[in-house]
Chain A
Amino acid sequence: MLSNTEVKLEVTSLKKIFDRKIIFKDVDFTLNTLDSLAITGKNGSGKSTLIKILANVFTQTTGQVSLSINGKKIEKQYFYKYIGFVSPYLNLYDEFSGYENLKIIAGIRGLPDNNIEPVLKRIGLWERRNDMLKIYSSGMKQRLKIAFSIIHEPQILLFDEPTSNLDAEGVQLVDSIAEEYKNRCILIIATNDEHERSLCAKEINLNNYKKDGTK
């Protein structure tokens, strides 16, 4: 990834309603290259919903999310090229090995296979690369999700509870990836964990975006 890429993520008047219940409303923020943001709030406050909307895998009720790279606005259908996403709701393919999963993803993204080895070595799964995903532990699956999120060197890295199921070594891995990304692009973490929150310079608490006048 180019270190001199100017990335701008702009969120304007974002609102999400589920079954006539307002999850959050009037969410506004702008992030530029080298910004990092923690999305916090109690359980059910909409942290995962907001991060899924930012990743363009979920739609908002009203409001806008716009992304521009070097001043050029990116169409929503192409957000995936610039975003890396780790979430508890994301599952990779159980019937394939860790290596095959990344090979499939690289194939769909049009990336060369030689990206796979360094990424698998970095996340500590190279030795277990040929094991089927169905026999991976939850921590190993979480590591593979992290590999999935960084294999294409995204401009925006979105982490939803990234250290869940990880051992101490895994938490260090998340720390190092978070440090690297916040020093060259945009990092967003949805979390309730104090350590994960401390990885980010800015914070938005969704408890404050519920009802009229409470923002």
Chain B
Amino acid sequence: MFTRLFRVLRRLVRAKEAESDSSQGSQTPLSGDLQRDLSALENLFDRVDDLVIQSFFVGGDESVGASVVYLDGMIDAARVEETVIEPLMLWARPRQLGDSPSGRQLAGRIQSTVLPAHRAVEVSTLEEMVDGILDGDLTLLVQDVDTALVMDAKEFMTRSVEEPGADVAVRGSREGFIDHAAVNVTLLRRRIRSTRLKAERLRMGHKSRTDVRLIYIEGVAQKDVVDEMRRRLDDIDVDMVDSSRLVQNLAGDRPHTVFPCMHATERPDTVAHGLAEGRVAVFVDNDPFVLVAPSTFFGFFTTAEQYNLNFYVASFVRVVSIGAFLLSVLLTPTYVAMTTFHHELIPMPLLLNIAAAEAGLPLPVGATAFVVEVMLEVIREAGARLPTAVGQAAGIIGAVVLGQAAIEAAFVGPGLVIVAATATIASFAIPQYEATSGWRLLRFPLLLMGSVLGFYGISIAVVVIVMHLASLKTFGIPFLSLYPPGRVSELGEEVLQMPEAYRRPVRPGAVWDRWRRGEPPVPRDPDTGRRYQKERLR
């Protein structure tokens, strides 16, 4: 009953909000009276001191007043002065226009003869004009003209293209995305020079009006996935969109999981590879991280750099990454389970050493392991938050000095410190650190189960995790797609980086899972006409 009541109330609140939105969405047409339009604009920008309005006369004719409006700091003022205001002030009106041309004639002539170098859009409402100003465009209003010209003259400070900080490659491109979505799209276009690379622009956030771009290669990305991503982005209903993390959380399939359904990267080559494999990318302005979807479990162990390596090395690196993940979550729980419940598994000399080192410890091994793991997390976070030089020092002091002191004070055993440190280092070896950082948390429930029920507890916890993974879907594609059912040969292709992968029109991946199952017809590459994965499907 309460659920039904709650639903009715929620529906009422939503209806009210929708009504309010529709009233806010009404458009105010420009009047053509310069003073009136400017005062309407000033009312909207009340107490916005960085709004600049520069008024002048067109062609020295006092009857034709004009104003440019922009936000200080978002355009190159000197360039505007030189290429817009000065030419307009000095403009000799052509005779064909006559003595009293209509506003529209005047506007058209100005656009084609005075401002041809500027990409200008003619808008007819106050709201469109405001959107342009907030985007950093220059707006031109002319007396007796009931439209305004919104010109792209953006020139604000952005950092230059640099090597990404979180996703470093030894061999490969040194370029990383920056905070400006338009520049980021350019970095991508330099890698995929195709008209099929589509870039759809969306506005997101009622207050922030953030520029968000949905990028995909038409004919390569599955239409279902593109449509679904577009729908989810359209459905995001928030005031502020200031990061890709927010979009990742709101457009994802299951927010309450540590396994993300899309991964974020700062590398243009990683995004380009993802798009060529049929994925879609989402660029969010003011964030250097670009989202790539759909992502599968094994995709997190792949980096664009691996395509630049010898395939033996690339395969080895990928296997090592998977092993590192397993070590990072399972090593400490296994050590605790073995030393607490399964002594018979440990060779006698080693067991005697461990027993001697851990005799007289104040806490049981399981509890000590918890303390050590939490301390390591604290040290890691402290190192990440501090400036680089200080952070490194804090990490060294925390890990080495504290660890040594804890062993000498007989607070922890040396075996546990070695195991926990190895697990922590292993967690750094997972390629996409940002995306997989949440996976580290899995070691805590595993540790709890290992401390209480030994190997049985770890097995049960692993089964629950695998069940959870098996239930996850990302844009309709199973997150845990290892290989098409029963085709064990393709398991190798997911784990290893074989030379054949370079020759395929589309590399293997669970993105094509549904096609492999033979549900829709097998698609063809739009450029070459070759069928995707034909030999694998039959």
Judge: A and B partners, yes or no: no
